[in-house]
Amino acid sequence: MARTSRESAGARPAPPFEITVDGRAVTALPGQSIAAALWGAGILAWRTTRNTGRPRGAFCGIGQCYDCLATVNGVPNRRACLLPARPGDAITTQEGDGHAGLGD
């Protein structure tokens, strides 16, 4: 009887959950970063640059380059590659520095 590695290790992962990206439901897995959940959904860009509006997403994947900045639950400039996805998180595409429309 063949067993999967998860069965052999006795792992009991929690069930998947949903986050939203620009209003679209995306499935995330426990322990995934927001960037990993977005990649898994085929979303490769979730920020635009300040001056030229060019799309950006994860580049280095270790929090050094800041290309993966996103607005998460209304807070701009969160590094999606370092931030764990949590049930109900609302991610919105960040335009520029992420402060437009937030007031002074």
> CA 26 to CA 82: how far, in whole Å?
18
Between CA 96 and CA 10 the distance in angstroms is 45
Give tens-digit pLDDT for 19-29.
Answer: 999 999 999 99
- pTM for this prediction: 0.80
- The pLDDT value recorded for residue 100 is 67
Rounded Cα distance, 7 and 94, in Å: 40
| DSSP 8-state code for residue 7 | H
DSSP 83: S
Per-residue pLDDT band at 104 (split at 50, 70, 90)? very low
Which among 67, 75, 5, 74 has a CA at the least distance from the CA of 38? 67
The first and second tokens of residue 22, run together, are 């620009």
> What pLDDT does residue 51 have?
86
pLDDT band at 5 (very low <50, low <70, confident <90, very high): low
> Average pLDDT of 17-42?
96
